[in-house]
Amino acid sequence: MSYLFVDQIQEHTTGQRICGCKLVRPDELYLTIGRANHPALLPAVVGEALGQLGAWSVMHASQFQYRPVAGVVDQVTIYDDAYVGDLITLTTEIVTWDEQAIDYHSVATVDGRKILAIDHAIGPMLPMTEFNDPQRMQQLFIELSNAQTPWVEDMQTSLPSPCALIRYDQMVDWQPGVQVIATKYIPAKAAYFAEHFPRKPVLPLTMLLSANLALAQQWLMEWQPSIGSSLVPYQLRKIKMRNFIAPETTVTTVIKLKAQHNDQIVLQIVNQVDTRTVCGLEVIFHDANTQSA
Amino acid sequence: MNVESVYPKVKQILVDVLFIEEEQVALDKRLIADLGAESIDFLDLVFQLEKEFDIKIPRGQLEKNARGSLSEQEFEENGMVTERGMQALREYFTELPADQFPNTLKISEIPSLFTVETFCKVIIDAQQKAASQAV
């Protein structure tokens, strides 16, 4: 199953600005139950589509010699869900790029409605040959640039089961309102490794974020049963992927309460491999019933 | 503007960026060997410092500062720091004890010399440049 999420490149000023789209299909692997109780794409996958769009631009600009990988993201704001049948418009503005790093902003919309925005994502640029076949990537870029706007006739789908790829295996410590520690084994057969990346499979940051958010939500629901189901992740801040996570690794995740005020709960999340911090971020959850994004 | 004036903020940013405790940070600590910094942490650190201090730290600026008045040719030969280059580094990284200073160094290994004080000095340098341009 592919882990490439841009269906069409619509406009492109090389290394500066790129627009594209992604259709949320009923047979997507990465679906969840959205705020309107309809099947929706995992928000982190919308972010992945935006990141991949920016990557296409700078890969093209570097003549497919370099590719960006996940690094630091200052802020991601999740405004709404993208549901099955939605055509997501993706726009990425590249602030700067060179052979060392890319810095970009992105926004995803559906019919003009803002879904998700990324502020200042900074990703290291690494030699393309370590991760992908440059010729294949160049060919894919041409195909995406010449692609038709995607469309499928039958958008009917039932509510999805929670995506197994983002489920934690074991709860090590579970203290509602204090902290949760959980572990997850990353199997080599996970579907995303085929494309992420063919020559060097590593866990996509967006899959790790999805797992973190699902775990945090489950913990909040137990801690705050009266409002838990309406608490939704609104903003992710200071995200950083420090090391690649290879297949067959066990990730230990620690979630702690950082702050709580009004209708917002701020969590600190750290992912570790062998006691080494490989990823960290802050997440703000808010009550979807009392706040509009 | 001096190291002491910017250090408290730099310290706080390092705690966040490197996922470490405040007590671990001191001016003479090396970011990689002592504080466990990864290469991505340098990108993050520069971004956070630029935001906090409202400055620009162009890529390669730290190495440029450390090179002093030497040209690239005088500083580097076949990917290695020249003898004159090593002398310039010793003069710049005054906070590093002599026993932590290698005899030879690859250009790509220069970040291994970066200390907390290095970043304080870069901020002061950037602030001074900005102030002189504003006059």
SS3 of residue A266 by DSSP: strand
Q: Please name the helix (run of DSSP H) or strand (run of DSSP E) that holds residue A250, with its range, or none.
A: strand A249-261
Residue B9 belongs to domain with CATH number? 1.10.1200.10
Burial degree of B27 (CB within 10 A; 0-12, 13-18, 19+): middle
Q: What is the structure's pLDDT at A162?
A: 67
Q: Does a structural domain hold residue B121?
A: yes
Q: For residues A116-129, give the mean pLDDT.
A: 96
Q: How many CA atoms lie within 13 A of A94 on its CB side?
A: 26
Q: Does a structural domain hold residue B56?
A: yes
Q: What is the structure's pLDDT at A293?
A: 44
The values of phi and psi at residue A211, to 5°, are: -65, -40
Q: What is the structure's pLDDT at A146?
A: 96
Q: What is the structure's pLDDT at B46?
A: 93
Q: For residues B5-24, give the mean pLDDT.
A: 95
Q: For residues B94-120, give the mean pLDDT.
A: 90
- pLDDT of A229 strictly over 90: no
Q: For residues B5-14, give the mean pLDDT.
A: 96
Q: Does a structural domain hold residue B52?
A: yes
How many contacts does A have with B, using Cβ atoms within 8 A? 32
What percent of chain A has pLDDT above 90?
80
Minimum Cα–Cα distance from B45: chain A residue: A72
Q: Does a structural domain hold residue B132?
A: no
Q: What is the structure's pLDDT at A70?
A: 94
Cβ contacts (< 8 Å) between A72 and chain B: which residues? 40, 43-44, 47
Cβ contacts (< 8 Å) between A98 and chain B: which residues? 59
| Minimal CA separation from B45 to chain A, in Å | 10
Q: What CA–CA distance (Å, rounded) separates A55 from A70?
A: 10
| Tokens representing residue A119 in the block | 């502020």
Give the pLDDT confidence of B57-89 residue by residue, as tens digits: 888 888 888 888 999 899 999 999 999 999 999
Query: Could you please report the per-residue DSSP string of chain B?
Result: --HHHHHHHHHHHHHHHHT--GGG--TT-BTTTTT---HHHHHHHHHHHHHHHT----TTHHHHHHHTT--HHHHEETTEE-HHHHHHHHHH-TTS-GGGS-SS-BGGGGGGG-BHHHHHHHHHHHHHHHHHHH-
Q: Does a structural domain hold residue B24?
A: yes
Q: What is the mean pLDDT of chain A?
A: 92
| Tokens representing residue B3 in the block | 């190291």
Which ipTM was obtained for this model?
0.80
Give the pLDDT confidence of A127-168 residue by residue, as tens digits: 999 999 999 999 999 999 999 988 877 666 677 776 777 889
- Quick check: A71 and B41 CB within 8 A? no
- Quick check: B19 and A280 CB within 8 A? yes
Which of A100, A120, A242 lies closest to B41 in CB terms?
A242
Q: Count of domains in chain B?
A: 1
Q: Does a structural domain hold residue B69?
A: yes
* Residue A126 forms contact with B (CB below 8 Å): no
- Quick check: B44 and A280 CB within 8 A? no
What percent of chain A has pLDDT above 70?
97
Domains within chain A, CATH numbers bracketed? 8-146 (3.10.129.10), 164-287 (3.10.129.10)
The residue length of chain B stands at 135
Q: Does a structural domain hold residue B22?
A: yes
Q: Does a structural domain hold residue B135?
A: no
Q: For residues A47-62, give the mean pLDDT.
A: 97
* Residue A238 forms contact with B (CB below 8 Å): yes
Cβ contacts (< 8 Å) between A240 and chain B: which residues? 17, 40-41, 44
Which of B19, B44, B59 lies closest to A72 in CB terms?
B44
- pLDDT of A207 strictly over 70: yes
Q: What is the structure's pLDDT at A289?
A: 79
Domain extent at residue B118: 3-127
Q: What is the structure's pLDDT at B31?
A: 96
Q: Amino acid identity, residue A112? A: G
Cβ contacts (< 8 Å) between B38 and chain A: which residues? 242-243
